[in-house]
Structure 1
Amino acid sequence: MLAEVMIENATELRMVQNLGAHSVLLARQVVKGGISPDLKTLDEIREASRIPFTVLVRPDELGQQYENERKNKLLGHLRAYRQAGIEGVALGVREEDFVDVFFLEDILSFGFKITFYGFNGLKSLPQMLKMLNMYPRVCRIITRGNQASSWEGRTTIRELAEMARPGLEVFAEGVGLHPNNLAEFVQHSGAHGLLWGSTVRDASERLDLVLLEQLIDIMVHKTSRRF
């Protein structure tokens, strides 16, 4: 199972690369759910990265339902990232309990590879995934299966993984997963990977490298080990 970690800067990138992370999601303010990073940090990440990275596009800490002013802000971020040569972005757009297909198609016109970030709180996740299956540039969803945690949503996550078209990866959020239940989740959830965000940060909002190393080790070997 692939391990992706949310990071805020090049220093964190180097740390998680050394721990064996397969990819990273770049954002600011990870503990608050993440917002779009600045271009200077992007340049530093590009220079330091030995693994794939995706950029979170979220102009503020509000939800995924965008009115016109916030849509324009998000589109402005996309233009800047496109000009900077970024290939993959992560975002979520919705209209009430459904994916906002019209806004998604506007976003797809930029030519990015898209990760649907926060694929939760939608009516009928399987139906929404069937719709996303029709868009080849949507290459990943990140979900906890419409539950409070990925552990609680593991049955739905497995269902989504089974119905996703080839080339569309189903990643679970790290929420609710820990060294005592991760091996079982890895073996039975069917997810292609896991995104570790705020749950691998300590009270000072720094990466908990000891915990993260243990989690990545379990993901790679599918068996819990004691440190």
Structure 2
Amino acid sequence: MKLEICANSYQSAINAQKAGANRIELCSELSIGGITPSLGVLEKISQKITIPVNVLIRPRSGNFCYTDEEFEIMKNDIKICKNFGLNGIVSGVLNPDNSIDIKRTKELIELSKPMSFTFHRAFDCVTNPQKSLQQLIDLKVDRILTSGLQEKAANGIELLKKLQKLAKDKLVILPGSGINAKNVHLFKEAGFKEIHSSASKIISIEKSIFFGNTPQTVSSIETIQKILKVIKDA
């Protein structure tokens, strides 16, 4: 079973690589669900990271319905990732009723080629996961990052198992959210091919009268290695 680390910074990505992670999902601002990292971070990552890097393409926090202008930004960001030679794109678009926006998602997938395409946790907002899964199979996405429509993947594991059974070998169901060394065995035993974790720890808390107490987190080498050990031994 492969371990993808959700890295929120350059340092998190370096730590993931040092610890032996199989792949990185690169983003920024995990506290708001993640947004697209800066151009500077993308350039540095492309120079220093040798394991596969998939980049989150999400122009802002909030819902997954985008204006024409926001959609153009997303497409431009995909072109930048392609120019840097990165491995894949993590993105997706929903309609106002939380169904998958087939037209726009397909456009992002086509633009991303030959990079891989992961449909991100917008999937956890859909009202009909089985129908949405089939739509994404038809669109030929490579994987779906999902917590099984629950806050934590361990709580959504029964739906995750059902989705994996329905998907067969047509795409990868990538469980994510709250996966750690204490519960990763559940996903290994259930036969998932890949899992997703930030493996993060708080390294400082900035106390500010303007912005409140904002924690700074980083993916931890020690935490990643603990998860990998359980995967190996389970």
TM-score when normalising by structure 1: 0.86
Matched to 2:105, the amino acid is L
Match of 1:12 in 2: 12
Relative to structure 1, the CA distance from residue 167 to residue 45 in structure 2 (aligned partners, 3 Å threshold; closer, same or farther) is farther
Match of 1:173 in 2: 176
Identity of aligned residues (%): 20
Q: Distance in 2 between matches of 1:58 and 1:91?
A: 7
Contact 2:5 2:25 in 1 (8 A): yes
Contact 2:8 2:218 in 1 (8 A): no
What's the offset of the Cα at 1:9? 4.0
What's the offset of the Cα at 1:54? 0.5
Match of 1:225 in 2: none
Contact 1:116 1:140 in 2 (8 A): yes
Match of 1:158 in 2: 161
Structure 1 unmatched ranges of 5 or more: 223-227
Matched to 2:58, the amino acid is R
Structure 2 unmatched ranges of 5 or more: 203-214
What's the RMSD between the two structures over aligned residues? 2.0
Q: Distance in 1 between matches of 2:28 and 2:150?
A: 25
Q: Distance in 2 between matches of 1:69 and 1:208?
A: 36
Matched to 1:135, the amino acid is L
Relative to structure 1, the CA distance from residue 37 to residue 186 in structure 2 (aligned partners, 3 Å threshold; closer, same or farther) is same
Equivalent residue in structure 2 for 1:214, among 213, 226, 231: 226
Contact 1:6 1:196 in 2 (8 A): yes
| Residues 195-214 of structure 1, C-alpha deviations (whole Å, 9 max, x = no match) | 113x6232431233333321
| Residues 36-91 of structure 1, C-alpha deviations (whole Å, 9 max, x = no match) | 12233222212222311101111111221113232222222223333434441001
Contact 1:31 1:205 in 2 (8 A): no
| Residues 121-144 of structure 1, C-alpha deviations (whole Å, 9 max, x = no match) | 2122121111111123x1011001
Matched to 1:139, the amino acid is D
Q: Distance in 1 between matches of 2:12 and 2:150?
A: 29
Match of 1:142 in 2: 145
Contact 1:6 1:26 in 2 (8 A): yes
